[in-house]
Structure 1
Amino acid sequence: MKLTILTWLWRQPQSRTSFTAMHVNIWAAMVRRHCTLDIEIACVTDMPDGIDPSIRIITPPGEFVGLQTRRWRGQRPNCYRRLAMFRSDAAGIFGERFVCMDLDVVIAGNIDAILDRPEDLVICGPSQEGPRWRYNGSMLLMTAGARPHVYDDFSLAGAEEASRLFVGSDQAWLGYALGPGEATWSIADGVTRASDSEMGRIRFYPGHVKPWDELADAWVSEHYRMTGGRHGLVLGQKRAVWDEAREAMARDRFDGVIAYPAAAEKWHGPVDAIVESKAEVATFARMLGFDRLTVCGG
């Protein structure tokens, strides 16, 4: 059975973190480098612009989009829309067997054994010790249709009660609705969090600090990147930048743009990274898989 490995991308106003197509593409590249199973990579989103065309776009079911609880609102991520994965008819939307993985992740080694599990549901173990932490929603593996009560029994009143007992949005509801005893991943399986001393093969960053904030770290820089072979355009700080850019674009096709702040403000298209120094250009070029760089106004 083909395994769908999917992520979600949506825009949440005032959220503490903004995710983009770039994060989806880097995530997909890491999955491809480190998984040899029979897989399909997908993204559940209504923001498909810029996402690599090899990634299947799944139209979001659109349920529970604006729902917030009193204890978990504002800049905190609200992920109740993901509960659609527990619908009894989920196979027709997501696939017969699927993995859902958050975008704030670094994949650093082969993940076949992590994903090739026999259980009908596997989820990350708790992020912290204590009664308010039962599971972590950063990743789950399931057979479509497993635990349909998670979706069927969901309500705002139930979400409020779950939020009182557990931390998170959909994560709190999963802890409440599933109860104890589900199969989990842990450090022993190679699944870690940024706060763990062991790096792991899959390392999630569920807090404020994300992988792209840690590119000065050699381990993150080595693994959090797109696959190479791409050509990047760098928009520098000198007056000649626009004349040189026009000439470059007439000659070549570019896979992305890195720009200094002033050039980024005037650029007519998307900018993948805004930088302040040559060192940052090199760092982001590696992350974006730019083996070739054309520097204009440098």
Structure 2
Amino acid sequence: MKWGTKYGPEYVNRLHAMVRRHLRGDFRFVCLTDDPRGIRPEVQCLPIPPLDLPAGIPERGWTKLATFSADLHGLRGTALFLDLDVVIVAGLDAFFEHPGEFLIIHDYKRPWRVTGNSSVYRFELGAHPEVLEHFRAHFAEVRSAFRNEQSYLSDFMHGKGRLAYWPPGWCRSFKYHSIPAWPSNYWRAPCVPQEARIMIFHGECNPPDALAGRRNRRFRFIRPAGWVAEHWRE
């Protein structure tokens, strides 16, 4: 999904290219967006179903819940949702083969909670419309109880007995698993952890920042992660 101006079309195009390199066989690559300009023709661009949220509320990823529409532009089949700013570094076939009705990344920081990280999740299109129906009918309550979309989504699926997590090594955090611990971050570059298939960028860096050796917090130095250029490209 791409909405607003934070990410340009190059994020969509590079994500498509990474999927093409790491997924065997045919697939359909769909981008739900409010602006298809600059996106490659191999990508099917479709409008984002409106959620009709109140104006001026903080953006907490609620728009992602539109993927659970009962009829998402007539799409059917198994969907693997990928955030725009992930970097795919190894094969994706296993993400479609791993057993489970709904799979998501387990929270990195507080693994004792049910909360997942929704940078990568898999589901059957049209199979869980109650996720969105409940959100629309109880938006004030949901927003009061949950900070963001992934907290609500994880809790809802857990309550239905459908929540499962990816194997821990598959989706690794650039922030927690790639950047060397202080003080070795001053002479060692961020790495790709063993077993990693998708690197998740959340909190501090996006792929171009990691490639340039930038962080958005003072006194937190990182060296350039050269491997990003190898993977994050068309």
TM-score between the two structures when normalised by the length of structure 2: 0.77
- The aligned residue for residue 169 of structure 1 is 148
Q: Give the 3 Å change call, closer, same or farther, for CA 207–63 of structure 1 in structure 2.
A: same
Q: Structure 1 unaligned runs (5+)?
A: 1-7, 13-17, 227-298
Q: Distance in 1 between matches of 2:202 and 2:75?
A: 24
CA contact (8 A) 1:99 1:139 kept: yes
Identity %: 29
Q: Which stretches of structure 1, 4 residues or more, deviate above 6 A after TM superposition?
A: none
**Offset at 1:22?**
0.8
Contact 2:107–2:113 (CA<8 Å) still a contact in 1? Answer: no
Instruction: Deviation per CA, 1:246-272: give whole Å up to 9, x if none.
Output: xxxxxxxxxxxxxxxxxxxxxxxxxxx
Counterpart secondary structure, 1:137: strand
Write out aligned runs for 1:183-202 (5 A). Answer: 183-188=164-169, 190-194=170-174, 195-197=176-178, 198=193, 200-202=196-198
Aligned to 2:23: 35
Contact conserved, 2:14 with 2:232, CA < 8 A, in 1?
Answer: yes
Structure-2 residue corresponding to 1:144: 125
User: Aligned to 1:30, what secondary structure does the other structure show?
Assistant: helix
Structure 1 residue 83: deviation in Å?
1.1
Task: Report whether the alignment pairs 1:206 with 2:185.
Answer: no
What one-letter code is carried by the residue in structure 1 that aligns with 2:19?
A: V
Structure with greater contact order relative to length (CA < 8 Å, sep ≥ 6): 2
CA, structure 1 residues 225+42, in 2 after alignment: closer, same or farther (shift >3 Å)? same
Larger fraction in strand: 1
- The DSSP-based 3-state class of the residue aligned with 1:141 is strand
Give me the CA root mean square deviation: 2.3
- Report which stretch shifted further, 149-158 or 104-113: 149-158
For residues 78 and 206 of structure 1, do their structure 2 counterparts lie closer, same or farther at Cα, with a shift above 3 Å needed? same
CA change 1:193–1:93 in 2 (3 A) is farther
Trace 1:56-75 onto structure 2 (pairs within 5 A).
Answer: 56-65=44-53, 73=58
Distance 2:53 2:167 in 1: 30
Q: 1:34 to 1:81 in 2, by over 3 A?
A: same
Distance 1:26 1:85, change over 3 A: same
Question: 1:89 aligned to 23, 48, 71, which one?
Answer: 71
CA contact (8 A) 2:114 2:155 kept: no
SS in 2 for 1:179: helix
Matched, 1:221 2:229: yes
- Whether the 8 Å CA contact 2:82–2:120 is kept in 1: the answer is yes
Give the AA of the match of 2:63. Answer: R
Q: Deviations over 1:100-121 (max 9, x none)?
A: 1101111111111123234332
The yes-or-no answer on 1:50 pairing with 2:38 is: yes
In structure 1, C-alpha distance between the alignment counterparts of 2:87 and 2:32, rounded to whole Å = 20
Q: Is the 8 A contact 1:121 1:146 kept in 2?
A: no
Counterpart residue number, 2:186: none
- Give me the whole-angstrom Cα distance separating, in 2, the residues matched to 1:54 and 1:179: 35
State the partner residue of 2:142: 159
Deviations 1:140-169 (A, max 9, x none): 111123332211111222322332xxxx42
Q: Does 1:10 align with 2:31?
A: no
Q: 2:202 aligns to what SS in structure 1?
A: coil
Matched pairs, number: 202
* Residue-by-residue CA offset, 1:81-136 (whole Å, 9 max, x unaligned): 2212222223x444322111101111111111123234332111113216666111
Match of 2:97 in 1: 116
- 1:105 is aligned to 86
**Does the 8 A contact of 1:88 with 1:148 survive in 2?**
yes
CA contact (8 A) 2:172 2:200 kept: yes
